[in-house]
Amino acid sequence: MFARRSAGGYISVVDGVKRKTLVFGEKTLMTEFLLEKGKVLPGHKHPQEQTGYLVSGKIKLFIGGESREVNPGDSWVIPGNVEHRAEILEDSVAVEVFAPVREDYLP
What is the per-residue DSSP string for 23-62?
Answer: EE-SS-EEEEEEE-TT-EEEEE--SSEEEEEEEEEEEEEE
Domain annotation covers residue 80: yes
d(CA 41, CA 53): 16
Domain region containing 79: 43-91
d(CA 79, CA 49): 5
Cβ neighbours of residue 4 closer than 8 Å, sequence gap 6 or more: none
How do residues 6-57 score in pLDDT, each as one tens digit?
999 999 999 999 999 999 999 999 999 999 999 999 999 999 999 999 999 9
Domain annotation covers residue 3: no
pTM: 0.95
With cut-offs at 50, 70 and 90, classify the pLDDT of residue 107.
confident
| Mean pLDDT of all residues in 61-74 | 98
Domain annotation covers residue 16: no
Domain annotation covers residue 103: no
Query: Has residue 1 got a pLDDT over 80?
Result: no
d(CA 30, CA 98): 6
* Number of independent structural domains in the chain: 1
Q: Say which CATH number the domain at 63 has.
A: 2.60.120.10
